[in-house]
Amino acid sequence: MYFSSGYLNNNKLPFKDRSKPIIVGSCGAYRLTTKKRLPTWSPHGRVDYQLLYVAAGKTHFYIGGEDKVVTAGHMVLYQPKEEQHYEYFGIDKPEVYWVHFTGGDVRNTLRHYDIPLNDHVFYCGTPSTYVLLFKQMIEELQTCRVGYEELLEMCFRELLLVVQRTRLEKPSIVSTQVQEEMAFARQYFHEHYNEPINIEDFAQSRHMSISLFMRNFKKVYEISPKQYILNLRMNNAQSLLETTDYTVSEIAAIVGYDNPLYFSRLYHKQKGQAPTDYRKLLKE
């Protein structure tokens, strides 16, 4: 299981604060790989708000006594004092990001970005921007650099803006069959990202031309298949740098690169710093 989180002022207790319009209290991510089950049940809820984003796989949320299967591309909003009951199962390969927030103008802010206050679950699409923004908020909460509280609010507002844009802009016309095919491809990439993947061979195996497959994948996920696979490799490499003592060469091999030097160059280009420098920063 992969877990990463950050808390404002290192305070893990829920809190209510109306001194500013929006205050991000904590942010984190779960990715189940080996753990069979991860349940959460808070009968009386929390004093703050929580927004969860299912980036991959599926999850189970129990709302109003009903088991709602929430799949990738959906968000779940909990308001203060609402019962929170949900479970992640390893077999579903869930990847979930969450953020807790409070403030003096939360409801008006959510309305401004057209976030539905009456529906717990809503579709938000799968732009890669979501994961990047969640990761940035986690990093800001962990490092507490100058001005991080203001930057947290900016990141959170950008997240809400991307949700609004994705929900309200006219989507590309893509059939249900194409969406299912692209979801299959995405799941395949998640399961085999550390193996050699020939995109042309994969497209042919699904009875599509390479140009049609690439065009449809970008329509659905707003990113090319090649870049999507690269993001998977680099994000998992970052997780390994953060949570293990594996050498850079070992991590390169784990995420699919025989040449550690080539891996380091790719990582630097993708993340802005070499893997060795990132690990030094973590230790500091």
The values of phi and psi at residue 216, to 5°, are -70, -40
**How far is it, in rounded angstroms, from Cα 157 to Cα 113?**
9
Residues 242-261 have pLDDT tens digits of: 889 999 999 999 999 999 99
Cα dist. 271→8, 132, 193, 219 in Å? Answer: 24, 11, 18, 25
**How far is it, in rounded angstroms, from Cα 78 to Cα 85?**
10
Residues 11-56 have pLDDT tens digits of: 889 999 999 999 999 999 998 877 789 999 999 999 999 999 999 9
Residue 258 structure tokens: 């025989």
What domains can be seen in the chain, in order of their start residue? 2-168 (2.60.120.280), 176-283 (1.10.10.60)
CA angle 78, 156, 218 (to 5 degrees): 95
Residues 256-281 have pLDDT tens digits of: 999 999 999 999 999 899 999 989 88
Residues 187-210 have pLDDT tens digits of: 999 999 999 999 999 999 999 999
| CB of 253 closer than 8 Å to CB of 194 | no
pTM score of the predicted model: 0.65
pLDDT value of residue 173:
62
The pLDDT of 70-87, averaged and rounded, is: 95
